[in-house]
Chains A and B, each alone.
Chain A
Amino acid sequence: MNIPILSAAVIIFLSIMTGLMYLGSRKTKTDNDFLVAGRSMHPWIMALSYGAAFISTSAIVGFGGAAGLFGFSLLWLTVLTIFIGIFIAFALFGPRIRRMSCNLGSETFPSFLGARYQSSALTAYAGMLIFLLMPAYTGAILIGGGRFLYDALGIPYTTGLLLFAVIVAAYVMSGGLRGVMYTDAFFAVVMLLGMSTLLFATYSAVGGIIPGHSGLSAISNLVPATLIEQGHRGWTAMPAFGSRIWWIVVSTMVLGVGIGVLAQPQLTMRFMTIKQPRSLYQAILVGGIFIFFMTGTAFIIGPLSNLYFYQTQGKIAIQVAEGNIDRIIPIFVSQIMPDWFLYFFMLTLLAAAISTLSSLIHVQGTAFARDLVENLGINKLLPGASTRFWAKLGIIFSIISAVTLAFILPPGVIARATAFWFGICAAAFLPTLTAALYWPAATKAGALASTITGSIVSGFGYIFLQEQGAVAVGLVSRLLGRTTLLPFPWTHIEPLIYSLPAATIVLVAVSLLTQRPMAKHLEDTFKKVA
């Protein structure tokens, strides 16, 4: 490693980041600026920020590593994230969220839901879910960043992890959402350059597109017997239908994340920041390209790393990574690319980690301030303290929780922790959010019951049914002496598969049984929306 080159690259990177953050902080004068960037963002900046916040080291290192183990089947997640996460989110949800949040004067995701359904309890519950459960996802992102710094550059894991945490907390507190989005846009460009270069370099290293795919198909006999028993049929084939790996790939990774993206608070609130609702159509162009080069690259290079490692070392990826899938992408990149690119890729992953981390920390801070402290009247304990003061306090709490979890969570957890958060969000928020935008007859009681049902059924699934969660928590084994409550396939089904329908049914049933919202409220809420 060439220390002067690396130092120069990091200094330039941090200088640009600091400059953009300073620009953001100069323009952040009101709570509205801090919370929703003054509702004046350009659609391109919004799209790049949305993409950078969505794509973290989890997507690149964690899911890319999972693709190295399971194969090209994860490309279905790319299809879903572009179609649902970009097209449906930007063309159908985004313009309505922007207009409606303006009509209701909402500046956070929980307060938007609460104002739409006239329920401060819903605001508090959604805020609590974000503040208490999001640190698991945040911790996973910290792990991804720290892991890459250790594997590629030899920076001690603990040092790298703490460095991320301190930098992000400091800059989110100073620049608010405006600063976060400016730096996100810069990070997105760095990520786009890094990942597109990597995609072309990988195909070039394995002899081209079709020769690379064919070569990988030809070594399907190298798949370990333990994986074949679980349904693995080679890296260029779907897992056997209904097998353990099929359930993990299709339900947890593809559907869990692909659907969950639509109800992510840190992404949804970006729609509130744009100037013109319909300019989101333009943002689709930028978002589609960005997400393709992020997830598409990760899910293509992961499987192809098996061919490269086999040709150069006679081993497949999981063997080279010594069983830890989170190490596949960092090791592959450090072997396939020249040194100069390694520095650039380090910046790419640094950008991915910081951009997602900053968005999550900002959302947790604002949920703490607006949706918990102010909504529940706790701010009266400290008269005169501003929203920004409470948000900064929330940011400090959030970063401490995330760092603590990052040290506790086991190795190989990045992709699973990401899927956990996306699954919880989809079950708890998606029916409520969709009805908020498209079904005026949805009621306060229906929305609250649906959100609670979605989160509880999901939580129950992770603690009692899904094998990995149940083993980690250990409650079932203490109570019943076995690992999970029910046998396979429940052990490998993503809880979203049953919690999302349950939450949807509860929303519809309770709304039909309870009193319809006041006509005046609906008229004000849906003004210029339909």
Chain B
Amino acid sequence: MLGMQDLWISAAWLLSIGSAVGCVVYGALNWHYESEEE
């Protein structure tokens, strides 16, 4: 898969991109907290 010899490596490649995308989505969903006063 993805030209790799090993599924563990394909998973790492996909998860590294996926986790970065996950951070973007999570950050966007919680964007409004920046302007809230404590």
| Residues of A with C-beta under 8 A to B24 | 285, 288-289
B14 to chain A, nearest CB (A): 9
Q: Complex formed: what's the CA distance from A281 to B37 in Å?
A: 14
> Which residues of A sit under 8 angstroms from B13, Cβ to Cβ?
72, 75
Most interface-central of B17, B22, B24, B34 (chain A CB within 10 A): B34
Q: Knowing A87-B22, A209-B2 are in contact, say whether A281-B12 is a contact too (CB < 8 A).
A: no
Chain A proximity mask over B12-24: 1 for CB below 8 Å, otherwise 0: 1101110111111
B20 touches A82 (CB 8 A): yes
Given B4, B27, B37, B38, which contacts A285 in the complex, CB threshold below 8 Å?
B27
Of the residues A71, A91, A213, A236, contact of B26 by C-beta under 8 Å: A91
- Tell me the number of A-to-B contacts counted with CB atoms below 8 Å: 119
Say how far A516's CB is from chain B's closest CB, in angstroms. 29
Q: Interface residues of B: mostly helix, strand, loop or mixed? A: helix
Of the candidates B15, B23, B33, the one whose C-beta lies within 8 Å of that of A279 is B33
List the A side residues contacting B15 at CB < 8 Å.
79
Shortest Cβ gap from B9 to chain A (Å): 5
Residues of B within 8 A of A288 (CB): 19-24, 27
Residues of chain B having any CB pair with chain A under 8 Å: 2-6, 8-9, 12-13, 15-17, 19-24, 26-28, 30-31, 33-34, 36-38
* A220 partner residues in chain B, CB cutoff 8 A: 5
Looking at the assembled complex, report how far the CB atom of A523 sits from the nearest CB atom of chain B, in whole angstroms: 18
Q: Which of B5, B12, B30, B31 contacts A217 (CB 8 A)?
A: B5
Q: Shortest 5 CB-CB distances between A and B: which pairs?
A: A288-B23, A285-B27, A213-B3, A281-B30, A292-B20
Which residues in B have their C-beta under 8 angstroms from that of A423?
Answer: none
Provide the residues of chain B in CB contact with A91, threshold 8 Å. 26
Complex-state Cα separation, A277 to B21, whole angstroms: 23
Closest to B37 in A: A276
What is the minimal beta-carbon distance from A212 to any residue of chain B, in angstroms?
7
Closest to A292 in B: B20
By beta carbon, the residue of chain A nearest B19 is A82
Cβ-defined contact, B16 with A236, below 8 A: no
Q: Which residues of A contact B34 (CB under 8 A)?
A: 43, 276, 278-279, 282
Shortest CB–CB separation between residue A242 and chain B, in angstroms?
14
Are A287 and B23 CB-contacts (below 8 A) given A212-B3, A292-B17?
Answer: yes
A-B contact pairs, 17 of them (CB 8 A): A71-B9, A72-B4, A73-B9, A75-B13, A79-B12, A79-B15, A87-B19, A87-B22, A87-B23, A209-B3, A237-B9, A277-B38, A278-B33, A281-B26, A281-B31, A288-B27, A292-B20
Q: Do B16 and A78 touch across chains, with their CB atoms under 8 A apart?
A: yes
Q: Taking the nearest CB of chain A, how far is it from the CB of B20, in angstroms?
A: 4
**Which B residues are in CB contact (< 8 Å) with A213?**
2-4
Residue numbers in A under 8 Å from B31 (CB-CB): 281-282, 285
* B2 CB contact (under 8 Å) in A43, A210, A233, A277: A210
Pair B26/A284 contact, Cβ less than 8 Å: yes
Cross-chain contact B23 with A276 (CB below 8 angstroms): no
Q: Quote the shortest CB–CB distance from A52 to chain B (angstroms).
A: 17
